[in-house]
Amino acid sequence: MNWKLGFLALLFVWAVNTTFAQYQLSGKVVSGTDAVIGATVSVSGRSVFTDTLGVFFIGGIKDSEIVLKVTTVGFQTFSKKIKLSEKLAEIQIELAPSEHLLDGVVVSGSMKEVSKSESTIAVDIIKPELFRKNASSGLFEGIQMVSGVRPQVNCSICNTGDIHINGMEGPYTAVLVDGMPIVSSLGTVYGLMGIPTGMIERLEVVKGPASTLYGTEAVAGLINIITKNPGKGPKLWAESNLNTWGEAAQDFGIALNKTKVKWLSGLSFFGFDQTIDKNKDGFTDLSLQKRLSWFNKLTYGKKNTGSVALRVLFEDRWGGQTHWNENFRGTDLVYGESIKTKRLEFIGKNAVTSFFDVNYSLVSHHQDSYYGKTYFQARQDIGFVQGLFRFSKPSGLYLFGLPMKYTFYDDNTAVTATMPQRLFNPAVFMQYEKELSTSLKILAAYRIDYFSNKKWVQSPRIALKYQSVNRLNNLRLNYGNGFRWVNVFSEDHAALTGARTVYIAENLRPERSHNFSINFERKFPLKSSFFGLDITAFYSYFSNKIMPDYDTHPEKIFYNNLPGYLDSKGLSLSIDFSHNSGFRASGSVSFLDIRNHENNKWIRPVLTEKASGTGLVSYKFGRLKTTVDYTLNWLSSMRLPLQGPTDPRPEYSPFTQIHNLQITKMTSKNLEFFAGIKNLLNFLPYRNIPFLIANASDPFDKQVVFDQNGIAQPTAQNPYGLTFDPSYVYASLQGRRLFGGLRISLK
């Protein structure tokens, strides 16, 4: 009987263990070589978070076959079926960065790191992966894939440009690096040039006034360049990009990861030395350039609570008549625009306590340039320091800021003829954010600035955000106020080119803007794919608008406060689709209506489009490790600056479309090659028009005959009565070109 009882006991224990068997699972979540902290790991309805080493443990799992799911901000969702055994199962999970633009971490909206979908302020994100869909020599070209954001070439000779947001000119866009306002006025052209793309974590774009947090110049919006944290990403990388026009871009980077100090350094070089004149007007189609930029970033402290970054930039560019050389610089023998630039940027951040941060920056920009025989030498120094206090109370989240900005500006024009400009700008702002319910959130902010010219400026902002219970729908309502102080010469390089005389009114008043916007975002997570929809409608009102008047007198440019007002209204739509098979498609379209209202009349400003759009189609062949990318940018017609009724050039540009095709082949985890065609359909802005540059045969207007009012008269040598002017430009003169390169990345 004893053996029978023993057998029955063993049988009972086996049955119990079989019926109530429990399993255990542990593992580590990583991205590359980095642990992912705070990721949500879900199994059978239970969830845990990864610790500071990226490790997790789940016990008491009843089912042997489970679906393991890992989610966290900034990465694609990981989901996999796993069969467990009685032994402790261990697994390492590799997360891929989020490839679509509808989620990710953002800080620009409220100076607080949150996911894009949780942000009360609508923020667009550009990841470096998107830049690589159409490899370029810098961010200036790459940013054109964002709806409502457009790089604009402003000069057909020196090829400088700026960034337009919702149709507004470049000076209305604040360009930040790691949240610091180091790009301003004189250096705006260089804000998106010279930073190696391997150093960039992401770009954040806020469309609409952001002066409440970021002060002057964030009138139309801001672009915040977020650089990578040292210690993350590859230890060594390099990228080389060449094209058939002769442009060469080289980027190199290295990262050192020590216990308390982490260092990231990148070197960027761009060179173009080909004198090309395919439209046969005697002038270079693209300015010749040499640019060298060195960027360094270092973090320190036990938890990397402090960081400093340094960038130096040198550039020498010229464009003009094809037989120009350095010996003609500043003379009236051969026309050339020669711009030599030296720039230093320094950024620092330090978390003093858990609720108090100190941020600071310094930028020094020197420019030595000739526009024909017109000499322009300028220096701008900007110092900035800011204390940030953050408090979390049951009543809501509070942010207090105490920024202080000092600007020194000096040039050789009448603007600073008596003394350099020195402007002190202390300010204070407060932001309050509160979750009124699980679905409704409110943000209110107020800022007041004092300027050393005895001017006070107030900037309020308020925003509401509704999020559905399933977090798939977001609705945002926003009002913002922006302001800007203007230095015409430092911001409008076109004012110095050509033979026009510049006149500036006395006592220019600061420009102000008021913006109302509504944003709707919808996510459709499907079984094996993702679809996202983003719609924004906005209205902006600008007062005291400073506008260059090219029309009253063809040989002059007048700057004054617009007696009326300017308003801008528009609608933008963006879609994004991705499939697990490797297929991805996205597109955007923006409609704009911008009008200058003056003397009971309105006119459309020059270089403002009615519509624009982007497109992307991408497919990754997994077995071949090859990706094919097609990108598109299109632009409706724009009003262009003419010199009067006798000017034979069209008043409006044609429909512009630039198509690009690229193939990328990954030969190993560390090496990939890319090649493609830019401007596939060979769009050229000088087709079907008599000329681009006015009076190109006489760039110093030596043979121009003027009447007693200073107006150019038609002659045999100058049949249209025009003066030299290269401001009639709206797109690059580069046609179809092949490109190729490689990327090396060592983990």
Q: What is the pLDDT of residues 596-610, one digit of tens each?
A: 888 888 888 888 899
Domain match, 229 and 194 both: yes
pLDDT of residue 504: 63
Res 106: pLDDT: 62
pLDDT tens across 725-743, in order? Answer: 888 888 889 999 999 999 9
Average pLDDT over the chain reads 83
Q: Residue 454 — very low, low, confident or very high, per pLDDT cuts 50/70/90? A: low
Percent of the chain with pLDDT over 70: 84
Does 124 lie in the same domain as 86?
A: no
pLDDT at residue 174 in the model: 81
- Give pLDDT, residue 453: 65
pLDDT given for residue 329 in this prediction? 95
Same domain (yes/no): 484, 575: yes
**Quick one: 240 and 201 in the same domain?**
yes
Residues 68 and 140 in one domain: no
Instruction: Report the pLDDT averaged over residues 623-646.
Output: 92
Last residue of a domain, one of 72, 94, 116: 94
Q: What is the pLDDT of residues 300-356, one digit of tens each?
A: 877 667 889 999 999 999 999 999 999 999 999 999 999 999 999 999 998 888 789
Contacts of 159 (CB under 8 A, 6+ apart): 153, 286, 287, 317, 319, 732
How far apart are alpha carbons 221 and 149 in whole angstroms? 10
Claim to verify: residue 90 and residue 178 sit in the same structural domain: no
Domain boundary (69, 94, 119) is at: 94
Q: What's the pLDDT band for 565 if we cut at 50, 70, 90?
A: confident
The domain in which residue 27 lies consists of: 2-94
Residue 269 pLDDT greater than 60, yes or no: yes
- Name the residue among 727, 687, 633, 681 with its Cα closest to residue 136: 633
**Which pLDDT belongs to residue 588?**
93
Q: Are residues 73 and 176 in the same domain?
A: no
In the three-class reduction of DSSP (H, G, I as helix; E, B as strand; rest coil), residue 217 is classed as: coil
Do 498 and 611 reside in the same domain of the chain? yes
pLDDT (0 to 100) of residue 587: 93
Burial of residue 170, with CB atoms counted within 10 A of its CB: 0-12 exposed, 13-18 middle, 19 or more buried: buried
Q: How confident is the model at residue 19 (pLDDT cuts 50, 70, 90)?
A: very low
- Could you tell me the pLDDT band of residue 204, with boundaries at 50, 70 and 90? confident
What are 76-88's pLDDT values in tens digits?
Answer: 778 888 888 766 6
Helix (H) or strand (E) holding 737: strand 737-746
Domain contains 80: yes
Least confident residue range of 165-174, 244-253, 561-570 = 165-174
Same domain, 256 and 324: yes
Q: Across 321-395, where does the E strand assignment appear?
A: 336-351, 356-371, 374-393
546 within some domain = yes
Mean pLDDT of 162-168: 80
- What confidence tier does 98 reach under pLDDT thresholds 50, 70, 90? low
Number of structural domains the chain divides into: 2
If you ran DSSP here, which 8-state letter would residue 96 be given?
P
What spatial distance separates the first Cα and last Cα of the chain, rounded to whole Å? 67
